[in-house]
Amino acid sequence: MQKENPVIVGLDIGTTKIVAIAGRKNEYGKLEILGFGKSDSSGVNHGMVLNIEECIRSINIALTNCMVSNPSLTIKEVYVGIAGHHIKSIQTRGDRVVANIEEEIKKEDIEALIKDQYKTYLPAGDQIIDIIPQDFTVDAITNLTMKEVIGMTGIKTGANFHIVTGDKTAIRNIHRCVTRAGLSTKDLVLQPLASAAAVMCAEDLEAGVAIVDIGGGTTDLAIFHEGMLKHTVVIPIAGVNITNDIRQGLGVLKSQAEQMKVQFGMALADEAKPNAFITIPGLKGQQPKEISAKNLAHIIQSRMDEILEYVVYHIKQQNLQDKLHGGIILTGGGSQLKHLMQLTQFRTGLNARIGLPNEHLAAGHTTELLKPMYATCIGLILRGYDDFENNRLRFTSNNTEDNLPESVEAVGTFTSMTQKFEPSVEELLQQEFGQAEDDHSLSNLYPSAEHTLTLDTVQEIQTNLFQAPNPNQPIAITDHHGTKINERSKVIKDVFSTVKTTVLHWFENVDDERLDN
């Protein structure tokens, strides 16, 4: 049965704005926007949620505006972008020996290989956000794509992976804000990858490009070469830094600095007229103040030079300065500065263009949605459709539009390109304490490793933690499906006595009832 396209909602929680966009693919594969809403952001600094209550209010305003734009729209699930200076990326290698060399390599074998990467050791306090396969190998054959590997035969298959990690507290705060706004997080997506999906085409991917998303609080960089993601980084310098520089350098209010940046700002000081001045009203009866347009441009260019130095550094670090034939694609709100393309070409030596999120949009939308500042949010919707079309996360959408058919469940298995936010019990303990030895693996205690924690399971385990019987007696726990857990009292006692405090702390963070209180 052909899957009907669901309504997917992207939620971009930025430093200066929060945007909610609902979209649905039409029969031609183009994205039709069904709802659009935004609000000024509060409680977020450099991409990280600092004040949860203020952030929730901003999210609710954006969602309300989105549903006002289309009263028949119902929003329950969202794809959420994540950024911030806590984001890191690492390269890993994984290999698996094929169980039966007579059989062809199947999609399930690739999924198992990717899922193995969740066992990668991480520093304390970090959590995996995304795992992106790069190139695959089968025995001595290298540089294969995932599609090429499926159907081949061999003894050993392996791959190089790009793993994106983030701070657990920062991730938890985003999840908490979304939950308390009455939504569920379908997935967290790294913002530069979302922006890349919105502004890139197949030719860009093949030629090799660097996506530079200049937002309000962070500048996100994603580098692609030979059709693969090679590097991602979040640079904690962006539009708010330029605004603060203007405010301090010219002695004006923050609102005046932002307005001057948007209306008169340019990234190349040589293009500013030396005899042009900007007049701003004085404070409390004081005389109006005249600002030199050239001084304004010098301040902006200084900060943009700094951002581009970071971009060049990371491109050279990957030894790709002469291999990105597609050049640099500038997107995000900061990319709208005048003469930024010229400055980028001068500082990097690469071609540059502005990336607009119209590559995958259906015709007929307002010009407002075609601005680069909405690339991340539209990219989140496209990421959701990538999950849907590839049967990832057992995709179901609770978002509907009354005058369109509701989406149906797409049958599929969990695959690895993305990670469930709610980890299994085994994954939770592995993230906190590393890989357990085989004999003490929690999968022996909890055979239903694919289950995610639910409130019933939480309460069940909490009860057994605090009311455990005599250690010499077997402990029997059943999950919410009624499945019995193997009776290994000593191992359960040892494991749970060690992690009880940590697990219960995590329970408190995901328990919606406690959050509401």
Give pLDDT tens digits for 52-79. 999 999 999 999 999 999 999 999 999 9
According to the model, what pLDDT value does residue 390 have? Answer: 81
Range list for CATH 3.30.420.40 in the chain? 239-297
According to the model, what pLDDT value does residue 443 have? Answer: 35
Residues 6+ apart with CB under 8 A from 320: 208, 223, 225, 230
| The amino acid at 236 | P
What the block records as the tokens of 513 is: 């009832």
According to the model, what pLDDT value does residue 227 have? Answer: 87
According to the model, what pLDDT value does residue 147 have? Answer: 87
Q: Rounded distance, CA 413 to CA 114, Å?
A: 13
User: DSSP characters for 185-234?
Assistant: EEEEEEHHHHHHHHH--HHHHHH-EEEEEE-SS-EEEEEEETTEEEEEEE
What the block records as the tokens of 43 is: 């409680």
According to the model, what pLDDT value does residue 3 have? Answer: 57
Q: Rounded distance, CA 179 to CA 160, Å?
A: 34
Q: Rounded distance, CA 62 to CA 18, Å?
A: 6
Residues 6+ apart with CB under 8 A from 361: 30, 31, 33, 369, 370, 378
φ and ψ at residue 494, rounded to 5 degrees: -65, -45
Q: Rounded distance, CA 357 to CA 348, Å?
A: 23
**Pairing verdict, β 209-214 and 88-97:** unpaired
Q: Rounded distance, CA 495 to CA 323, Å?
A: 50
- Can you list the residues of the chain whose pLDDT is less than 50? 1-2, 403-517
Number of H helices, E strands in the chain: 16, 20
According to the model, what pLDDT value does residue 452 have? Answer: 39
According to the model, what pLDDT value does residue 306 have? Answer: 97
Q: Beta strands of 42-194 (E only): which ranges? A: 44-45, 48-49, 73-74, 77-82, 88-97, 126-138, 141-144, 156-167, 184-190
| The amino acid at 18 | I
Q: Rounded distance, CA 249 to CA 103, Å?
A: 68
Which CATH number does the domain 239-297 belong to among 3.30.460.80, 3.30.420.40, 3.30.70.20, 3.20.20.100?
A: 3.30.420.40
Nearest partner of 354 among 212, 207, 242, judged by Cα:
212
According to the model, what pLDDT value does residue 467 have? Answer: 41
Using DSSP, state whether 50 is helix, strand or coil: coil
Q: pTM of the prediction? A: 0.75
Provide the terminal-to-terminal Cα distance of the chain, rounded to the nearest Å.
44
Determine the longest span between alpha carbons in the chain, in angstroms. 88
Q: Output the CA–CA distances (angstroms, integers) from residue 460 to 274, 476, 509, in the order listed.
A: 72, 11, 17
What the block records as the tokens of 289 is: 């103040």
Strand partners, 189: 81
What the block records as the tokens of 23 is: 């979209």
User: DSSP characters for 417-450?
Assistant: TB--SS--HHHHHHHHH-PPPGGG-HHHH---TT
Say if residues 75 and 402 touch (Cβ distance below 8 Å).
no
What the block records as the tokens of 434 is: 């590393």
Say if residues 116 and 94 touch (Cβ distance below 8 Å).
yes
According to the model, what pLDDT value does residue 450 have? Answer: 37
